[in-house]
A = this chain, B = another copy of it.
Amino acid sequence: MLLGPGPSDVPASVLGALGKPTIGHLDPRFLTLLDETRAMLRSLFGTRNELTMPMSGTGSAGMETCVVNAVEPGDRVLVGVHGVFGQRLVEVARRAGAEVVAAECPWGRALDVQALRKAAQGRPFKLVCVVHAETSTGALTPLAPFRELADELGALLLVDSVTSLGGLPVEVDEVGIDLVYSGTQKCLSCPPGLSPISLSSRAHEALLARKHAVQSWYLDLSLVSRYWGGERLYHHTAPINMLYGLHEALRLCLEEGLDARFQRHAQNSKALAAGLEALGLELLVPAPERLPPLTLVRIPEGVDDARTRRQLLEQYGIEIGGGLGAFKGNAWRIGLMGASSTRRHVLLCLSALADVLRQQGHRLASDPLEAAQAAYC
């Protein structure tokens, strides 16, 4: 049972798709699968963007794709930093030659648009970067205020949706996101290895108007898009079997229905939170700012981080995640993503955690299963 910050449990039909015979990356049957994959990704992202496709790398490759295609040397980039993935955006943008302004915000809370506005000091920017769902802290940031800010600064809006796509609404067109990337191993419940991205027509135009070549040949969307578009021009050999898997994972998302899927993620997250509090554990993110697919919980006094996670894995076959960055060693990250977001996962996780914590002398506040069950009613 994969209950960490990703990968999540992969459905049998996705595993089955991964293991189907490899065919050529220019085979007409494969090209049909690519077109269907793009159409389904547009539904997931809530967009009609032409430039919507999975990049041939993990979520971090998607981040780098969006940054290096948008940024030219010397461009000013504003990044909201409230966790590891904001920090990573700063680093990636610097390496792309940007002049980066990092607006530091408290970890474990939503990003504060005023902090970014203040850091911008009214100067024009090329890009405003926001992590929608911070996988290192479990905080969710509403996006609309950042679109307003980007408009004030004359900037494109870049959004990290690695841990939100497929688990909660991303709404690229409605919000007005210009560049967005995600990963496959979170709420889409496909193994890691691909990074879905989407660019607005405005971002696409900015790409075509660049003065300098994109520094990465592998991630240059002006080239990559010529394979994914009608031309089918060879750029690199597409990761064929991974794309079989993504196609099936997206099909499952749409078969369930996005609203039902988002509802499921919200409900299971609420039940988990109730159960964790009954265990006497402190949740690190205030309820209104919590990310349904990922819950941060403080490791209680007297309880050993590594021992607990090892026991969960060895005795129960359950993986939860350790803390990252400022939360390393003092928090756990419990993911309820995609196929791992079910009542069964919630109740088994709480039972196992109760047992392992009791073994270390931790005293439960009340019955975690009862609390979780009540939250479902």
Q: Which residues of A contact B (CB under 8 A)?
A: 2, 4, 6-7, 9-10, 15-16, 18-25, 27, 56-61, 63-64, 88, 91-92, 94-96, 183, 185, 191-193, 213-218, 234-242, 245, 313, 319, 324
Contact = CB atoms under 8 A, between A and B. Distances in A.
Contacts of A22: 2, 7, 9-10, 15, 185, 191
A374 B242 CA distance: 41
Nearest to A189: B22
Interface of A is mostly: loop
A334 to B, nearest CB: 13
Contact of A4 (B24, B60, B88): B24
B193 A242 contact: yes
A57 B57 contact: yes
B191 A239 contact: yes
Contact of A215 (B25, B88, B96, B239): B96
Contacts of A236: 58-61
A193 B239 contact: yes
A7 B236 CA distance: 12
Contacts of A2: 22-24
A191 B240 CA distance: 7
A95 B206 CA distance: 19
A319 B240 CA distance: 15
20 contacts: A2-B23, A7-B22, A7-B25, A7-B237, A7-B240, A23-B319, A27-B313, A27-B319, A56-B193, A58-B238, A58-B239, A60-B218, A60-B235, A61-B218, A61-B236, A95-B213, A95-B216, A192-B237, A192-B238, A215-B216
Contacts of A192: 25, 237-240
A237 B183 contact: yes
A329 to B, nearest CB: 14
Contacts of A61: 56-57, 218, 236
